Structure 1
Amino acid sequence: MDKAYYHISEAQLGEGAKIPLVKMESSEAVFRKMADMMADCILENNAAGRRTVFICPVGPVGQYPFFVERVNKERISLKNVWFFNMDEYLNDDGSYIDAASPLSFRGFMDRVVYTQIDPELVMPPEQRVFPDPADPARGDRMIEELGGVDIAFGGIGITGHLAFNEPQPELSCEEFAALPTRMLDIHAETRATNSVGDLGGALECMPKRCITIGMKQILSAKKIRLGVFRDWHRAVVRRAAYGDRTADFPATLAQTHPDAMILINDVASKQPY
């Protein structure tokens, strides 16, 4: 069935959107903006003597080199900063995939972020938190104890998923929005899309299980900032911002968040068809 929002032109995109859309000229502009949001929030909180708590993705990832550059150049202390990563792939038995795997989000954060920041500035390891398959609720408890999340950063998946919160159309929006951190099966569409981007299409090598931070933790953040930049995001961003609010397309739940925003590059802004 055809949907009118897929025919919103690039020029009209953003008009009447249920989530504010910011169109930018390039992927670099999107990533630099996300990096600046991270650094500026930390600087503001450091100056006020407050901690900073982020939910962080590994996808998009283009913001991290720009963030690392600012931290090192401006000597921004991360000692009072907590990064809660959104998710991680699991083996079939529910254990983490090896951190040395090119698919591992834990390995990525170590290689590209934590080891690239001056040791005098980087936060201690206990403030670099991944969802734990041995205790999925641990991160949720920590976030609550820290007083909540300043900004939840992320992208939007092909099924509309935020982190790995895959659609569950059998749930109401309220039920879906209350889901905590948990382990789950990754939808076939997500595995196929990720295999193209990460493994050159080697679908049989993609993990089938994951652990993901909950929709409750994402939607409870003071701010939500999502970046989209791929050609298939043309349709995804239009449904997220103009479609019905539904657990069948999780990003639509951000429509009622008091401070959500989607940053869009020149590719994702174009009309899908």
Structure 2
Amino acid sequence: MLMNRLTSEEIFKWCSIPWQSLEGCEGKKIKLAVRKDRAEMMAEIGNLMADEVRDHNAKGLPTKWVLPAGPCDEYDTFVRRVNEERIDCKNLWVFHMDEFLDWQCRPYPVADTYESLEGTMLACFYNRIDEELRPPEDHRIWPRINNLDYPDEMCDKLGGIDTVWAGIGATGLVAFDEEPRDYWYRPTVEEYADSKTRIVDINSDTMVAMAERSFGTCLDRIPPKGLTIGFHVICSAKRAVYMVATGDWKKTVCRIMLFSEPTTEYPVTILPKYVPDVTLYTDEYTIDHPMSHDTRGW
């Protein structure tokens, strides 16, 4: 069925809970792991990543991930451990979340630039892993405009994803899977959960957030379109690890993802319906909502 939009009353209630009380609250849809700061949190996640590949290797199993091109600081710990401990990543399959397109739906050249997420991942992930341990190129699954079905077909062929490692947008995006805002189609939660790899217009609030974070809110610097893997791939996972430590931008969405029923208004809320093990990792500042303090009459 189509999920109604969340009410202000629901959101205000969730935001008013002191963060120290969240762990004991009934009705949470996912697990919560709060760490002191971003550095501690991302180092722990990097270790979780290295442990998963190492453990799967010991069992003779492939490792199948969905990875973001941001945040990237978890890769520091992962790459260090891979190189130091000689953790073989030749059997690691990586489904990349998304890629930017220009206003004419054309991809940008692959380079270490903001517009090229493939170039970003080469610089911060692949090229930092020792060559003899590095995932082969045919194990790196990118959404491409000339073969949109390939990620979904490969996901099905491999039997689904092990872990989604995901940053989350302020309005609940995962990859560039955002709230549908078109008058002409209104997908249900079930339809959205089976959505395929596709070309998307990036929602305006996401463009503002990216421009503010990187370019002094110069909106002209942000690509307006993208390619994204759909939730068909993401919802096939056994586990999802949300990484959210961006402070004020994410305080409200953290509360929504903890308590909301599935809704396309905040797509991140859909995952717990399909993924059996979901954890939000965050830091004390991000999870501490101002509306849980003196709100001066809100």
TM exceeding 0.5:
yes
2:183 paired with 1:167: no
1:168 Cα offset (Å): 2.2
Counterpart Cα distance in 2 of 1:103 and 1:66: 25
2:13 to 4, 22, 36: 4
1:272 Cα offset (Å): 3.5
Deviations 1:220-250 (A, max 9, x none): 1111111100122111110111123211110
1:47 Cα offset (Å): 0.7
In structure 1, the partner of 2:142 is 130
2:90 to 70, 79, 96: 79
Please report the RMSD computed on the Cα atoms of aligned residues, expressed in angstroms.
1.4
1:149 to 161, 179, 186: 161
1:36-185 → structure 2 map (5 Å cutoff): 36-100=47-111, 101-168=113-180, 170-185=186-201
Counterpart Cα distance in 2 of 1:74 and 1:46: 13
Contact 1:97 1:104 in 2 (8 A): yes
Q: Helix, strand or coil: the match of 1:22?
A: strand
Deviations 1:65-112 (A, max 9, x none): 111001001000011111111001111222212222223211111111
Matched letter for residue 129 of structure 2: I
2:284 paired with 1:266: yes
1:132 Cα offset (Å): 0.9
1:223 to 239, 244, 248: 239
In structure 2, the partner of 1:26 is 37
Q: Helix, strand or coil: the match of 1:11?
A: helix
Q: TM-score, with normalisation over the residues of structure 2? A: 0.88
1:171 Cα offset (Å): 2.1
Q: Helix, strand or coil: the match of 1:96?
A: coil
Paired residues in the alignment total 273
Matched letter for residue 184 of structure 1: V
1:268 Cα offset (Å): 1.1
Counterpart Cα distance in 2 of 1:253 and 1:173: 7
Q: TM-score, with normalisation over the residues of structure 1? A: 0.96
1:117 Cα offset (Å): 0.9
In structure 2, the partner of 1:236 is 253
Q: Is the alpha carbon distance of 1:198 and 1:99 closer, same or farther for their aligned partners in structure 2, counting shifts above 3 Å?
A: farther
Counterpart Cα distance in 2 of 1:217 and 1:155: 16
Counterpart Cα distance in 2 of 1:266 and 1:108: 28
Counterpart Cα distance in 2 of 1:272 and 1:235: 10
What's the % identity of the aligned pairs? 32
Deviations 1:130-179 (A, max 9, x none): 11111111111112112211101101101111111011272221111111
Q: Helix, strand or coil: the match of 2:133?
A: coil
Q: Helix, strand or coil: the match of 1:99?
A: coil
Counterpart Cα distance in 2 of 1:272 and 1:221: 33
Range moving further from structure 2, 182-191 or 53-62: 53-62
Which has more radius of gyration? 2
Range moving further from structure 2, 158-167 or 252-261: 252-261
Contact 2:98 2:229 in 1 (8 A): yes
1:207 to 213, 223, 235: 223
Unaligned runs of 5+ in 2: 1-7, 292-298
Q: Helix, strand or coil: the match of 2:47?
A: helix
Counterpart Cα distance in 2 of 1:157 and 1:103: 18
Deviations 1:108-131 (A, max 9, x none): 111111111111110111112211
